[in-house]
């Protein structure tokens, strides 16, 4: 690859753990606790007594407190669990990004290849088909990664991931002229440093266009946690069907078994809950 000259990482992301919110972690750690009085932290019932409270904000607060206390008292189990989850998350991130960048169903693949072919044509003076270049056979494939597992000052286990993507723009081979201004004399000029061999000087707009042609297919503004919060807010605004207040004036109020079943289904929701941390991929 790259004639043996090596490549720099083309992307970076950070994955973290919501250890104070994971129901599965809570349930896994509790398997090692014996049964006993609910007022003693040494027993399972102490961390599950919140389940007996009615569904409201107080129950939510009690649950968060139980999750927090159990996680703090079992740092070894939490570290093991986070390491396992993060290892899977790294593999999943690599697989998903590869699928995203190589998929013909995601708009922009041909445009990205055309941009690469155009640059090669300007450098070599001949027309080339990107698909016929051996090094580009896996265009868009995340073929390597470097991962660092760390623990923050607050004890949160997280991982930093640098990854290499075949065909990604080499920003170390691009030099963007810097605009300079003299406020006192009202003068402006463009400053271009002496660049090493193989580095191309291009305007800011062209450099951004090259990055966008490749990376637009891997970026998204969608945030899972925010989307789920919005869905929950909409559900709270919507009243369950079959209620007297929801029926327009003049409409007969029917209490059929089917409407009752539908009301139960609509208000049940998902009892498990899920938190998703935003993963960001950005050009290095």
pLDDT at 107 over 70: yes
For residue 237, the model assigns a pLDDT of 80
CA 3 to chain CA centroid, Å, is 33
pLDDT at 46 over 90: yes
For residue 280, the model assigns a pLDDT of 38
CA dist 273 → 31, 171, 229, 282 (Å): 21, 41, 11, 29
| pLDDT (tens digit per residue) in 226-257 | 888 888 888 888 755 554 444 444 433 333 33
| pLDDT (tens digit per residue) in 168-201 | 877 777 676 677 777 677 777 666 666 667 667 7
- The mean-pLDDT minimum among 70-74, 84-88, 100-104, 269-273 falls in 269-273
- Mean pLDDT, the chain, rounded, equals 75
Share of the chain above pLDDT 90, in %: 24
| pLDDT (tens digit per residue) in 253-282 | 333 333 333 232 233 333 333 333 333 333
3-state DSSP of the chain: CHHHCCCCCCEEEEEECCCCCCHHHHHHHHCCCCCCCCCCCCCHHHHHHHHHCCCCHHHHHHHHHHHHHHHHHCHHHHHHHHHHHHHHHHHHHHHHHHHHHHCCCCCCHHHHHHHHHHHHHHHHCCCCCHHHCHHHCCCCCEEEEEEEEEECCCCCEEEEEEEEECCCCCHHHEECCEEEEECCCCEEEEECCCCCCCCEECCHHHHHHHHHHHHCCCCCCCCHHHHHHHHHHHHHHCCCCCCHHHCCCCCCCCCCHHHHHHHHHHHHCCCCCCCCCCCCCECC
- The tokens describing 156, both together, are 């949160």
Strand 174-175 with 200-201, pairing: parallel
For residue 244, the model assigns a pLDDT of 45
């Amino acid at each position: 690859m790259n004639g043996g000259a090596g490549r720099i990482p083309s992307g970076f992301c950070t994955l973290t753990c919501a250890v104070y919110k994971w129901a599965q972690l809570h349930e896994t750690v509790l398997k090692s606790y014996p049964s006993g009085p609910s007022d003693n932290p040494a027993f399972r019932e102490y961390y599950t007594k919140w389940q007996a409270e009615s569904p409201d904000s107080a129950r939510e607060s009690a649950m968060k407190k139980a999750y927090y206390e159990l996680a703090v008292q079992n740092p070894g189990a939490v570290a093991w669990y986070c390491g396992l989850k993060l290892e899977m998350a790294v593999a999943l991130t690599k697989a998903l990004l590869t699928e995203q960048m190589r998929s013909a169903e995601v708009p922009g693949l041909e445009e990205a290849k055309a941009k690469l072919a155009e640059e090669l044509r300007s450098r070599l003076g001949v027309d080339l088909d990107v698909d016929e270049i051996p090094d580009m056979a896996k265009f868009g494939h995340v073929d390597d990664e470097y991962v660092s597992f760390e623990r923050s000052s607050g004890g949160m286990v997280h991982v930093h991931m640098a990854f290499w993507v075949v065909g990604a723009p080499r920003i170390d081979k691009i030099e963007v002229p810097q605009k300079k201004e003299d406020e006192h004399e009202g003068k402006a000029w463009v400053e271009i440093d002496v660049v090493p061999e193989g580095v191309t000087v291009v305007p800011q707009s062209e450099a951004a266009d090259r990055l966008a042609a490749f990376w637009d297919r891997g970026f998204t503004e969608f945030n899972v946690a925010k989307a789920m919060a919005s869905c929950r807010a909409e559900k709270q605004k919507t009243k369950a069907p079959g209620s007297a207040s929801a029926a327009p004036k003049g409409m007969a109020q029917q209490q059929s078994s089917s409407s009752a079943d539908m009301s139960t289904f609509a208000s049940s929701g998902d009892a498990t809950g899920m938190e998703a941390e935003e993963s960001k991929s950005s050009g290095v």
